[in-house]
C-alpha cells in the first residue's frame, strides 16, 4: 500500500482552518495514489488543547468537524486525530483518539493508551486511557493504529512508566504495519532519538512503522515534523521535512533515492526558534515585533531570529543608551541593524534616568547606590519598549537567555518585560554556538558582539563575570541541577567547587518568583523553565 503523510501545522481550536488543511492534504495525496493518509495527533483540535477541552462546545464542535471529514472521504482512507467522549460510567471525560475514515464504512475509533504526565505533558488531567488494543482493517489489510506515546518504549522515557505495551499487543495480533499519529515536541537531539527508537521497534517486531508527526509552534512548544517511514528491517527509507509542512506519498518499493542529509543541532535549533516565533506571532495575530538592542549577543541573536521569522521590515530594534553604555555597544547595535536591514531607533534614557534619580533622592538620602539604581535603568528601558509595543501593536520580545533566567540575572519589570521570551531556553554557551552558526558564511552578528565580554552596562566597567561564574561552568552546573535534578551534594561529588555549586543552587531557588512572572518562552531543551518545571515559590527545601 501507498501511505500518504500529511505533516501539518495546525492551530489549537481552529476547527475550520485545521479541517481545511486536512481536507486539502487528503485530496492532494489521494490524487497522487495514496491508499492511507495519516495526519498528526489531535489534528482536528490542534495540540495541546489543554483546558479548552472543558469549554462546553469545544469537544462537540470537534466531533462535528470529524463528521464533515467523514463525508469528504472518497477512495483513500483517512486517519485523523480528534477528541472523543468517554462514554463509560467512570474516569476522565474525554479520550485522545484517532478515527479511521473510509467511504461507506462506520469510522473505526482507536483511543490512546499511554497518557504522558511528565515534562510538559498533562494528558491524564483530561483523558481516559484505552484498556485494550485491537487491529483495524483498512482496505482489506490489518493495521495497528497508535497515538504518539503508545510507541514510546521504557528506555527512551525518563523511566519505565507503563505496564501496558500497545505495540507488543498489536504485533501479536498479526498487523501488517504500525501507523502512528504523533505530536512530539522538539528538543535538541530528539529527532535522532525518535528515529533510533522507531528503527529499533521495527527490527524487534519485523514490521514497518509509519510515523506522522505534527509541525509548527503552539505557545511554548515547537513541533519539528521529521515524520518517518521505517522498513521491517529497521531501516528508515523516508524522512519528512524538518520544521515545515510536507505532503508525501510513500511506497517502500518505489523509493530509490537516499535520505536527506543529517542536520546539525544548531541548524535544528535555529529553525525551531524561528518557527516557534513565527507561529506564536502569526497565531496570536501579531504582524510586527520590537526588541531592545544593547549591542550584546543575546539581543543580537534574538533580532536575527525575528528578522528571519517575520521579515526585516516587521522588526524594530531600539537602542536605549545611558552614560554607562559604551560607544562600541551602540555602534554594534547600529551595525547589526544595518546587516539585518531591520528598522532601528536610538532613544537615550539618560535624561529620564536622571529625572527619576532626582525624584527619589529625598527618599534615598544617605543611602549608597546599589542595584536599585541599576534596575531603574532596566525598568526605564522596559517602559520605553512597552510604550512602543502599545502604540504600534507590536509584540515585545525579551532577549534573556536560560543561564540568566536561571540565576535571576535579569530585572523584573525591566528587561523581563515582553510577550515572548525567544531564547529563554537557550543556555549562554549555546547562544555563542548558535551565533557562530549564523555567521558561518560571513558576519551577520558583528564580530565584536561575539568576542567582547558580556555586560549589562548598568554601572561603570560592569562585566557579567563580576557577578556570575564563567558561563561554561555555570551552564554545566545548571544542566545538572535544573535538567537532571541532581542535589548540590551530587554535583559537588562530580568535582565542582562546593561554594560555586551552593551559590548557583541558591540563586536558582531564590528566583523562582521571577520566572513565575516571565514571558512564555520557546522550549528547545530537555527541560525548560515554564510549563515543564513546576516549583513552589514559598518553600524551605535545601537541595
Binding residues for ATP: 292-299, 399
DSSP 74: -
Q: Are 273 and 423 in contact (CB under 8 A)?
A: yes
CA 446 remoteness from chain centre: 27
Annotation says 246 is catalytic? no
Helix (H) or strand (E) holding 170: helix 166-172
Which residues contribute to the annotated binding site for L-glutamine?
118, 184, 190
> DSSP letter string over 186-246?
--TTHHHHHHHHHHHHHHHHTS-EEEEE-EEEETTEEEEB--EEE-TTS-EEEEPPBSS-E
Residues with Cβ within 8 Å of 173's Cβ and at least 6 positions away in sequence, in order, are 133, 134, 135, 142, 144
* Residue among 109, 38, 45 at smallest CA distance from 78: 38
Given 19, 41, 128, 212, the catalytic residue = 41
Alpha-carbon gap, residue 363 to 292, rounded angstroms: 30
Annotation says 417 is catalytic? no
- The sheet carrying 105-111 orders its strands as 105-111, 94-102, 77-85, 36-38, 3-7, 246-250
Pairing, β 36-38 against β 77-85: parallel
SS3 of residue 341 by DSSP: coil
Residues with Cβ within 8 Å of 431's Cβ and at least 6 positions away in sequence, in order, are 297, 298, 301, 401, 423
Alpha-carbon gap, residue 427 to 402, rounded angstroms: 5
What Å distances lie between residue 223 and 71, 264, 536, CA to CA?
Answer: 29, 17, 28
Kindly state the cell numbers that stand for 482. 535544573
Q: Are 529 and 416 in contact (CB under 8 A)?
A: no
Tally the residues of the chain.
Answer: 543
Which residues contribute to the annotated binding site for deamido-NAD(+)?
375, 404, 514
* Residue among 120, 53, 47 at smallest CA distance from 84: 53
Strand partners, 315: 289
Given 19, 128, 148, 289, the catalytic residue = 148
* Residue among 294, 521, 517 at smallest CA distance from 420: 521
- The sheet carrying 395-398 orders its strands as 343-346, 315-319, 289-292, 395-398, 420-421
Q: Are 495 and 480 in contact (CB under 8 A)?
A: no
Q: Are 79 and 252 in contact (CB under 8 A)?
A: no
Residue 343 has φ and ψ, to the nearest 5°, of -70, 150
Which residues contribute to the annotated binding site?
118, 184, 190, 292-299, 375, 399, 404, 514
Q: Indicate which residues carry an active-site annotation.
A: 41, 112, 148
Amino acid at each position: 500500500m501507498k501511505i500518504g503523510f500529511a505533516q501539518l501545522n495546525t492551530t489549537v481550536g481552529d476547527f475550520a482552518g485545521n479541517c481545511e488543511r486536512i481536507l486539502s492534504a487528503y485530496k492532494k495525496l489521494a490524487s497522487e495514489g495514496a491508499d492511507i493518509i495519516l495526519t498528526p495527533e489531535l489534528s482536528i483540535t490542534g495540540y495541546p488543547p489543554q483546558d479548552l477541552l472543558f469549554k462546553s462546545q469545544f469537544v462537540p464542535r470537534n466531533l462535528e468537524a470529524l463528521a464533515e471529514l467523514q463525508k469528504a472521504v472518497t477512495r483513500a482512507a483517512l486517519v485523523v486525530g480528534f477528541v472523543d467522549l468517554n462514554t463509560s460510567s467512570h474516569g476522565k471525560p474525554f479520550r485522545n483518539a484517532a478515527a479511521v475514515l473510509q467511504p461507506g464504512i462506520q469510522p473505526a475509533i482507536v483511543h490512546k493508551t499511554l497518557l504522558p504526565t511528565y515534562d510538559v505533558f498533562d494528558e491524564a488531567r483530561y483523558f481516559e486511557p484505552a484498556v485494550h488494543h485491537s487491529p483495524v482493517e483498512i482496505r482489506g489489510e490489518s493495521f495497528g493504529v497508535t497515538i504518539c506515546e503508545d510507541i514510546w518504549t521504557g528506555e527512551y522515557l525518563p523511566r519505565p512508566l507503563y505496564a501496558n505495551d500497545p505495540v507488543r499487543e498489536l504485533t501479536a495480533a498479526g498487523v501488517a504495519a504500525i501507523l502512528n499519529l504523533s505530536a512530539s515536541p522538539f528538543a535538541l537531539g530528539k529527532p535522532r532519538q525518535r528515529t533510533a527508537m522507531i528503527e529499533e521497534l521495527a527490527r524487534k517486531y519485523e514490521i514497518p512503522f509509519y510515523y506522522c508527526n505534527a509541525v509548527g509552534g503552539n505557545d511554548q512548544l515547537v513541533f519539528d515534523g521529521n515524520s518517518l517511514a521505517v522498513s521491517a528491517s529497521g531501516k528508515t527509507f523516508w524522512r519528512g521535512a524538518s520544521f515545515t509542512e510536507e505532503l508525501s506519498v510513500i511506497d517502500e518499493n518505489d523509493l530509490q533515492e537516499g535520505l536527506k542529509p543529517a542536520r546539525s543541532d544548531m541548524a535544528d535549533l535555529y529553525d525551531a526558534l524561528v518557527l516557534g516565533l513565527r507561529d506564536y506571532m502569526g497565531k496570536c495575530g501579531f504582524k510586527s515585533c520590537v526588541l531592545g538592542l544593547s549591542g550584546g549577543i543575546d539581543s543580537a541573536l534574538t533580532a536575527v531570529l525575528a528578522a528571519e521569522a517575520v521579515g526585516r521590515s516587521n522588526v524594530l530594534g531600539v537602542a536605549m543608551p545611558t552614560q554607562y553604555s559604551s560607544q562600541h555597544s551602540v555602534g554594534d547595535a547600529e551595525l547589526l541593524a544595518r546587516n539585518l536591514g531591520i528598522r532601528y531607533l536610538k532613544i537615550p534614557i539618560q535624561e529620564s534616568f536622571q529625572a527619576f534619580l532626582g525624584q527619589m533622592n529625598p527618599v534615598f538620602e544617605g543611602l549608597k547606590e546599589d542595584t536599585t539604581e541599576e534596575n531603574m535603568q532596566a525598568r526605564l528601558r522596559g517602559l520605553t519598549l512597552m510604550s512602543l509595543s502599545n502604540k504600534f501593536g507590536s509584540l515585545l520580545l525579551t532577549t534573556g537567555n536560560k543561564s540568566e533566567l536561571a540565576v535571576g540575572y535579569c530585572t523584573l519589570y525591566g528587561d523581563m518585560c515582553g510577550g515572548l521570551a525567544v531564547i529563554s531556553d537557550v543556555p549562554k554557551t549555546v547562544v555563542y554556538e548558535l551565533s557562530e552558526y549564523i555567521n558561518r558564511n560571513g558576519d551577520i552578528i558583528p564580530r565584536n558582539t561575539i568576542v567582547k565580554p558580556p555586560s549589562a552596562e548598568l554601572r561603570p566597567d560592569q562585566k557579567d563575570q563580576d557577578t556570575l561564574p564563567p558561563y561554561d561552568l555555570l551552564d554545566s552546573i545548571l544542566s545538572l541541577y535544573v535538567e537532571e535534578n541532581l542535589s548540590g551534594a551530587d554535583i559537588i561529588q562530580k568535582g565542582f567547587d562546593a561554594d560555586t555549586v551552593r551559590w548557583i543552587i541558591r540563586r536558582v531557588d531564590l528566583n523562582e518568583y521571577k520566572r513565575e512572572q516571565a514571558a512564555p518562552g520557546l522550549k528547545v531543551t530537555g527541560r525548560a523553565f515554564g510549563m515543564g518545571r513546576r516549583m513552589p515559590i514559598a518553600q524551605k527545601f535545601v537541595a
